[in-house]
Structure 1
Amino acid sequence: MTGADLLALIKKQPVAFACGVLCVLCAVAFYFRMDAIDEARAAFEAKDKEAKAVSQNARHTTGLAEQVAEMQAAGKQIESRLVRASDLANNLQVFYRLETETGVKLIDARQNPLPTPKQNAPKTLYVPVSFSLTLHGNYAQIWSFLRRLETGPHFARFDRLALAKVELGAKDAVPDLMSAVFTVELLGTP
């Protein structure tokens, strides 16, 4: 087929030739733009995810000021319940106050030294302040002392507890006298 025959065919069928050229051009464009669909889909998914996150953040901001105020109040309440490791007199006053309220006799109350932090350990805001206590009283008094200490204003954790019956001389005998030796940790600041 010569160029003149091809020109005659194009003049005879112009619509079919235009459609054929258009199909070839579309196929070439599709081949070169095939990855654009994946890129557009990834961009759409990223924008959709971002839009959902913004929408969710906007939805959760309602009442945010009240929640911040509640968190600050809770933080102040926690701070008020902490003991200061360096404030020995006030720390022991907690136990002396419980002694008068429950009727036990506080034999020994000592604040133990703070444990040394491990090397390369992150610095913590709160530390357990440990106390070793020995007291005498009947079972109900000791139980009341322990219960008030546990449910009192400070965060308390008992480490060990030993109860024993106290044997005194015949003339000093007090019925049902018990001795309690225990270690309690109060949450505090260094």
Structure 2
Amino acid sequence: MTTEDLLEKVKRYPVQFVCAAIVLACSLTFYFRMDLISEREAAFEDASSKAGRVDSNLSAGASLPDHLESMKTFVARLDTRLVRPAELAENLKYFYRIESETGVSIGDLRQSAPAGKRPEGEVFAPVVYDVMLSGGFAQVVGFLSEIENGERFARVKSFNMQRGRDLGQPSVALALNLELLGTP
């Protein structure tokens, strides 16, 4: 096909030629601008998610002073339950108070970890204690129950329970390794 043949067909079918040119121009425009549509959709999704977060923050922000006050009371209550390693006398008094309440006999009580060490990135530090006590089975279990449910946060790391050496009545000897939650 030559150029003259092409011009003759254009003159013969002008409407069809113009329509084909328009379709070709629209297709090329759509092809080259197709990525703009996906970019605009992503920008719209991002803006709508930000607007949703702003709306939820506005609705939740109304009760923020109440939440702040309740968190302050919670932190104050938490602070009373923490152990401070430097206050050794107060910490030991906690164990001796439990001893007098439960009726066990503490033979050895030591704060065994270096004071003030805490794991990386943690706010609180465990304060490790080694306790050796003896008493009746019910008394020893009462001591453990008081440690577990008492006013301090405690975790028993290990324990060793043996039959005691009292000749008069059955007793139990307990070697206990535990951690109290503390702040340096």
TM range (shorter): 0.7 to 0.9
Q: Structure 1's 52 and 99: CA in aligned 2 closer, same or farther, altered over 3 A?
A: same
Q: Which runs of 5+ in 2 are unaligned?
A: 1-14
Q: Secondary structure at the match of 1:84?
A: coil
Aligned to 1:69: 69
State how 1:90-169 maps to structure 2 within 5 Å. 90-114=90-114, 122-168=120-166
Structure of higher CA gyration radius: 1
How many angstroms apart in 1 are the aligned matches of 2:63 and 2:116?
43
- After TM superposition, the score normalised by the length of structure 2 is 0.76
Q: Structure 1's 43 and 108: CA in aligned 2 closer, same or farther, altered over 3 A?
A: closer
One-letter identity of the residue aligned with 1:163: M
How far 1:62 sits from its partner (Å)? Answer: 3.0
- After TM superposition, the score normalised by the length of structure 1 is 0.74
How many angstroms apart in 2 are the aligned matches of 1:81 and 1:103?
23
Q: Secondary structure at the match of 2:72?
A: helix
Aligned to 1:34: 33
Aligned to 1:185: 179
**How many residues get paired?**
167
How far 1:167 sits from its partner (Å)? Answer: 2.5
- Root-mean-square deviation (CA, aligned residues, Å) is 3.0
Q: Which runs of 5+ in 1 are unaligned?
A: 1-16
Q: Structure 1's 108 and 139: CA in aligned 2 closer, same or farther, altered over 3 A?
A: same
How many angstroms apart in 1 are the aligned matches of 2:68 and 2:178?
33
How many angstroms apart in 1 are the aligned matches of 2:101 and 2:116?
34
Identity of aligned residues (%): 32
Structure 1 position 60 matched with structure 2 position 54: no
